């Protein structure tokens, strides 16, 4: 469903304009809900749930997971109704594992009431920040909302209860799904700066952010055995260029804990790097041939072929458009019979998938091995998905996480012994249409 893969027996939730694939990434259907006169029908009920989700997001200064501003049914309230003044200094906090923890001791709350304030030091510390002229803002990822596992109204009342307990004015942003609002991507912060701070410019150099997803390893402190489940809070601060602290450092004064950043750093993806190796190789040939791609989804194969190979007259064969590998092989054979050269743009992870083309009609075969790492490819995929949402693309060629893991399991590096006349290493070199797209690409993101 959309970007999510459902296994046997799992369920999900579709909203207006969602895409349902009958087979992973194939046979897409766009969901269109239309107005109905039936008063007690389940579709009317579903429409209501979606509306409630949007309304509750709005009152928390957030937005729905497509990032659109939605009108709530109640009177429109402005940020000034909640905060007498909007300071330029922001003290930002994650909620789960930072401001609160579960009462049950479990990792995930067992019910909306399963929480307590994490440390007694938190309330006085936040109160003193307010006194020093900071605005206290909570930024929380709540993917459970878009997955239908957490009711927005339940989460809203949970946050209200937390704020009642703290007895402090706090602004809260909730990212209810994937995309540009989900930490570590900066969307929630940007929304705060553009629309949620009463027109007062935020001073990042005087602001700070605190969260528990900090990339700390196992046994990072005595009695703290578990490693952090993610690094998204530290990366959120890093994307923003904000001072970062863990809750233990900030509220309890613990010394700085060790941590590691993810192996892939999108800031280091070089737009001027060499595109392929060996550099002496020729990308196209005047003799008839088949070029077979090998590489993760979103490793830059399609862009590369459409930029460098297809314009030279090669017939482009791709399973996303043709459906099955059998159709791809037939298309390849047809083109070869017509005397054309062919570029096969599939992931072709193992010798078996490549052999299908190598056996084609005794024409010379070259392999273009797209060298992007799994992490680079996943990053590209997330970037593609986010850009598509922003630009409202009609077609999303984004892939599910499952596609990546199955491709990785099957992968066997291509070798000349399979019958290739040459193997080229093609590197992922990002290109950007505009600075906004590059700024988004350079941010750390997580699935």
Q: Does 61 bind Mg ion (CB under 5 A)?
A: no
Furthest-apart CA pair in the chain: how many Å? 79
CB 377 within 8 A of CB 411: no
Distance in angstroms (rounded) separating the CA atoms of residues 403 and 266? 21
CB 147 within 8 A of CB 408: no
Name the minimum Å distance from CB 94 to Mg ion: 4
Nearest by Cα to 193 from 262, 242, 235, 227: 242
Q: Residues 96, 228, 248, 446: which binds Mg ion (CB under 5 A)? A: 96
Q: Residues 97, 184, 295, 414: which binds Mg ion (CB under 5 A)? A: 97
Name the minimum Å distance from CB 440 to Mg ion: 23
Nearest by Cα to 362 from 325, 327, 337: 337
Q: What are the CA-CA distances from residue 31 to residues 13, 15, 129, 293 (Å)?
A: 11, 7, 47, 33
Name the minimum Å distance from CB 160 to Mg ion: 19
CB 350 within 8 A of CB 377: no
Would you say 96 or 289 has its CB closer to Mg ion? Answer: 96
> Which range of residues in 34-42, 45-53, 93-101, 374-382 is near Mg ion by CB under 5 A?
93-101
CB 257 within 8 A of CB 246: yes
Name the minimum Å distance from CB 278 to Mg ion: 47
Tokens of 116: 């307590």
> Which range of residues in 91-99, 168-176, 296-304, 380-388 is near Mg ion by CB under 5 A?
91-99
CB 375 within 8 A of CB 323: no
Write the interaction track for Mg ion spanning residues 375-414; mark x where CB under 5 A is met and - where it is not.
----------------------------------------
Would you say 112 or 419 has its CB closer to Mg ion? Answer: 112
Site for Mg ion, residues 191 to 220, rule: CB under 5 A: 212
Would you say 211 or 295 has its CB closer to Mg ion? Answer: 211
Site for Mg ion, residues 303 to 332, rule: CB under 5 A: none
Would you say 171 or 299 has its CB closer to Mg ion? Answer: 171
Question: How many chain residues touch Mg ion (CB under 5 A)?
Answer: 4
> Which range of residues in 43-51, 86-94, 246-254, 372-380 is near Mg ion by CB under 5 A?
86-94
Do β-strands 116-117 and 100-101 pair in parallel, antiparallel, or remain unpaired?
antiparallel
Name the minimum Å distance from CB 293 to Mg ion: 40
Would you say 99 or 186 has its CB closer to Mg ion? Answer: 99
Would you say 64 or 232 has its CB closer to Mg ion? Answer: 232
278: preceding bond cis by omega (within 30 degrees)? yes
Residue 224 pairs in a beta bridge with: 221
Name the minimum Å distance from CB 96 to Mg ion: 4
Would you say 94 or 345 has its CB closer to Mg ion? Answer: 94
Q: Is 199 helix (H, G, I), strand (E, B) or coil?
A: coil
Q: Residues 2, 92, 94, 197: which binds Mg ion (CB under 5 A)? A: 94
DSSP string, 105-127: --SS-SSTT--EES-TTHHHHHH
Helices and strands (H and E) in the chain: how many: 14, 15
Would you say 183 or 427 has its CB closer to Mg ion? Answer: 183
Name the minimum Å distance from CB 261 to Mg ion: 17
- Report the Cα–Cα distance between both ends of the chain, in Å, rounded: 15
Sequence-separated (6 or more) residues with CB below 8 Å from residue 79? 61, 86, 171, 196, 197, 198
Name the minimum Å distance from CB 184 to Mg ion: 12
Would you say 118 or 342 has its CB closer to Mg ion? Answer: 118
Name the minimum Å distance from CB 9 to Mg ion: 29
Residue whose pair of structure tokens reads 């402190």 in the numeric block: 221
The residue of the chain with the least Cβ separation from Mg ion equals 97
Name the minimum Å distance from CB 226 to Mg ion: 13
CB 347 within 8 A of CB 407: yes
Name the minimum Å distance from CB 231 to Mg ion: 11
Name the minimum Å distance from CB 267 to Mg ion: 24
Would you say 118 or 424 has its CB closer to Mg ion? Answer: 118
How far is Cα of residue 60 from the mean position of the Cα atoms in its chain?
22
Within 10 A of 45 (CB to CB), how many other CB atoms are there? Answer: 11
Q: Count Cα neighbours of 391 within 13 Å in the Cβ-side half-sphere.
A: 15
Q: Is 410 helix (H, G, I), strand (E, B) or coil?
A: helix
Would you say 212 or 248 has its CB closer to Mg ion? Answer: 212
- Footprint on this chain of Mg ion (rule: CB under 5 A): 94, 96-97, 212
């Amino acid at each position: 469903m959309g970007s999510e893969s459902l296994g046997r027996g799992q369920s999900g939730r579709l909203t207006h304009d969602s895409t349902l694939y009958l087979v992973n990434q194939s046979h897409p259907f766009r969901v269109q809900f239309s107005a109905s006169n039936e008063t007690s029908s389940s579709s009317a009920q579903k429409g209501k749930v979606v509306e409630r989700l949007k309304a509750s997001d709005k009152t928390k200064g957030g937005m729905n997971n497509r990032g659109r501003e939605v009108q709530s049914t109640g009177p429109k309230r402005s940020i000034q109704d909640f905060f007498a003044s909007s300071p330029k200094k922001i003290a930002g906090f994650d909620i789960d594992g930072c401001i609160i923890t579960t009462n049950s001791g479990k990792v995930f709350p067992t019910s909306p009431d399963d929480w307590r304030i994490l440390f007694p030091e938190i309330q006085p510390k936040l109160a003193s920040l307010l006194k020093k002229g900071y605005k206290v803002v909570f930024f929380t990822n709540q993917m459970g909302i878009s997955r239908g596992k957490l009711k927005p109204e339940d989460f809203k009342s949970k946050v209200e209860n937390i704020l009642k307990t703290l007895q402090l004015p706090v602004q809260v942003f909730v990212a209810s799904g994937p995309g540009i609002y989900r930490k570590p991507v900066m969307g929630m912060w940007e929304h705060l700066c553009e629309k949620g701070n009463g027109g007062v410019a935020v001073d990042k150099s005087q602001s700070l952010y605190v969260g528990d997803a900090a990339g700390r390893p196992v046994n990072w402190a005595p009695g703290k055995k578990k490693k952090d489940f993610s690094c998204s809070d530290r990366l959120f601060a890093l994307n923003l260029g904000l001072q970062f602290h863990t809750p233990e450092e900030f509220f309890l004064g613990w010394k700085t804990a060790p941590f590691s950043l993810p192996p892939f750093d999108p800031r280091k993806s070089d737009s001027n790097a060499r595109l392929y190796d060996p550099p002496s190789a020729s990308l196209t040939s005047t003799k008839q041939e088949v070029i077979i791609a090998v590489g993760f989804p979103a490793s830059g194969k399609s862009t590369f072929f459409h930029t460098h190979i297809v314009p030279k007259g090669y017939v482009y064969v791709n399973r996303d458009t043709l459906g099955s590998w059998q159709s791809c092989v037939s298309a390849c054979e047809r083109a070869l019979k017509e005397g054309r050269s062919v570029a096969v743009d599939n992931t072709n992870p193992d010798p078996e998938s490549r052999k299908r083309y190598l056996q084609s009609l005794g024409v010379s075969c070259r392999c273009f091995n797209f060298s992007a790492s799994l992490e680079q490819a996943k990053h590209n995929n997330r970037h593609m998905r986010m850009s598509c949402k922003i630009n409202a693309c009609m077609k999303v060629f984004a892939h599910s996480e499952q596609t990546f893991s199955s491709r990785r399991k099957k992968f066997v590096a291509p070798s000349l012994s399979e019958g290739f006349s040459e193997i080229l290493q093609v590197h992922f070199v990002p290109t950007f249409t505009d600075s906004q797209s590059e700024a988004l690409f350079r941010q750390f993101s997580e699935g």
